[in-house]
Structure 1
Amino acid sequence: MDLNTVVELCDARQRGTWRPGDAWLGGGTYLFSEPQPQLRRLIDLSRMGWEPVRQTPAGDLEIAATCTIAQLSRHGRQAGWQAAPLFEQCCRAFLASWKIWHLATVGGNLCNGLPAGPMISLTAALDGVCTLLAQSGEVRRVPVREFVTGAGVKDLRPGELLRAVTLPARALESRTAFRQASLYGLGRSGALLIGARDPIDGEFALTVTASTVRPVQLRFAVPPNAEALREALEYGIRPQEYFDDIHGLPAWRRHMTFRLAEEIRRELVEEAGR
């Protein structure tokens, strides 16, 4: 879609004064998908030269905001971590066209803050931390599960830029389980849950996305039984936090959340102990 209110395309390497009507341009798959009458300038990040995915000296994985879904998928397939299959599972949750697959970025998916954003699901479940850059040069680090605070609502200040998401090495070695539900065979996720078992102390974490307006993570120092998990979900997710749109009613999303959570618990706790 043409954005006929945009009058200027700026190179992000040449910083100017951020002003109302500006927007960061990564892959542009969302920006060009619908009218953006509030925009006057696009600040293009494509020439920043950020390495899409890199391993830090500490073994953590840094994913640049400009990393495309195709690049992340390829990296995940080649990796040897315990949690590597989760990357492809979340990338495939897009059910995107070839064009979207090669243009959409990890940063764009997080900054849209949509409940069904699978990059939110992936990075929240693996304890990802967002690195945010302000125009003043200030750097903030915010956990992904706190970065997205509601449906389309993010902890992102005017002019602030998501630079990267870092996944800790310990989380990459977690044993994981993935469950997704949609109303249609090729539909948007109505519920996407990920379970993870810590490789050292066996802590069990369940991350609920898509069915809720924000990522919800429940952690158990001792692997829970079915009753404990159900109780944690009852008290951990308020009724008004279940998302309501054409892709699923809150009651259905809640039902699928409880059902998929129990499947994950059985896979990571009961079946693993056999």
Structure 2
Amino acid sequence: MDLNTVVEVQDARDRAPWRPGDAWLGGGTYLFSEPQPRLRRLVDLSRTGWTPVELRPDGSLEIAATCTIAQLSRFGKELTDRAAPLFEQCCRAFLASFKIWNMATVGGNLCNALPAGPMISLTTALDGRCLLLAQDGARRRVRVADFVTGAGRKDLAEGELLRSVTLPARALSCRTAFRQASLYGLGRSGVLVIGALDPVDGSFAITVTASTVRPVRLWFPLPPSAGALRAAIGSAVADGEWFDDIHGLPEWRRHMTVRFAEEIREEVTG
């Protein structure tokens, strides 16, 4: 779609004062999908040259905001860590064309903050941390689970940039399990639940996305009983936080979340 209110596209490497009507441009798959009447200038990140995915010496993984879904998928297939299958599972949860895969970015998926965003699911489940850069050069780190605060809402100040997401080495070594449900064969995720069992201390984490307006990550020092897991989900997700749209009613989303969480608990601890 043409954005007929945009009068300028600026290279992000050329620093200029941020002004009302500016927006960061990554892959643009969302920006160009619908009218953006408030926008006047796009600040293009495509030439920043950031390494898409990088393994650090400490074993952690840094994913640049500009990393495309296709790049992350290719990297995940070569990753030898135990949690590696989760990368492809979440990439496939897009159910998008190859054109979208080659343009859509990890950072864009997080910043759109849609409940069904599978990069939110992946990075929350693996205890990711966002690196945010302010216009004055200040840096701060925020857990992905806290970065997305609601449907379409995120902890991002005006002009602030999501630079990357870092996944700790310990999370990559976890045994994981993945469940996804949609009302349609090729529909948007209505429920997406991921479990992770830490091989070091036996702790267990369950991450709920798509069925809730924000990502919910529950951590247990030891795998809980079925009843304790069900109660923890009920306490963590308020009645108004079960997402309600054409892709699923809140009651169905709640039911499937609890069902999938129990299946995952049995799978990773069995």
Tell me if both proteins adopt one fold, taking TM over 0.5 as the criterion.
yes
- CA–CA distance in structure 1, aligned partners of residues 260 and 193 of structure 2: 7
Q: CA deviation at 1:231?
A: 1.1
> How many Å separate the matches in 2 of 1:4 and 1:234?
46
Question: Counterpart of 1:85?
Answer: 85
Distance 1:215 1:209 in 2: 5
Which is worse superposed, 221-230 or 89-98? 221-230
Q: State the SS of the aligned residue for 1:188.
A: coil
Aligned-pair CA distance for 1:56: 1.2
Deviations 1:133-191 (A, max 9, x none): 00000001000000000000000000000000000000000000000000000000000
Residue in 2 that maps onto 1:254: 254
Correspondence list, 1:31-180, <5 A: 31-180=31-180
Letter matched to residue 112 of structure 1? N
Give the whole-Å Cα distance in 1 for the aligned partners of 2:159 and 2:241. 28
Gaps in structure 1 of 5+ consecutive residues: none
2:222 is matched by which residue type in structure 1? V
> Unaligned stretches of 5+ in structure 2?
none
Tell me how far 1:94 sits from its aligned partner. Answer: 0.1
Whole-angstrom CA distance in 2 between matches of 1:162 and 1:227 = 38
- TM-score in terms of structure 1 length: 0.98
Given the two structures, how large is their TM-score scaled by the length of structure 2? 0.99
- Residue aligning to 1:8: 8
Detail structure 1 runs of 4+ shifted over 6 Å in the superposition.
Answer: none
Deviation per residue, 1:78-123 (Å, 9 max, x gap): 0100000000000000000010010000000000000000000000
Question: In structure 2, what is the Cα distance between the partners aligned to 1:153 and 1:34?
Answer: 18
Residue number in structure 2 paired with 1:197: 197
**1:222 deviation in Å?**
1.4
Question: 2:150, 2:234 → 1: CA distance?
Answer: 19
- Measured against aligned partners, the alpha-carbon deviations of 1:206-253 in whole angstroms (never above 9, x if no partner) come to 000000000111111111111111111111111111001111111111
AA partner of residue 212 (structure 2) = T
The 3-state SS of whatever aligns with 2:254 is helix
- SS of the equivalent of 1:164 reads strand
What amino acid maps onto 2:50 in structure 1? W
Matched residues, percent identical?
A: 74
2:225 aligned partner: 225
Cα RMSD between the aligned structures? Answer: 0.5
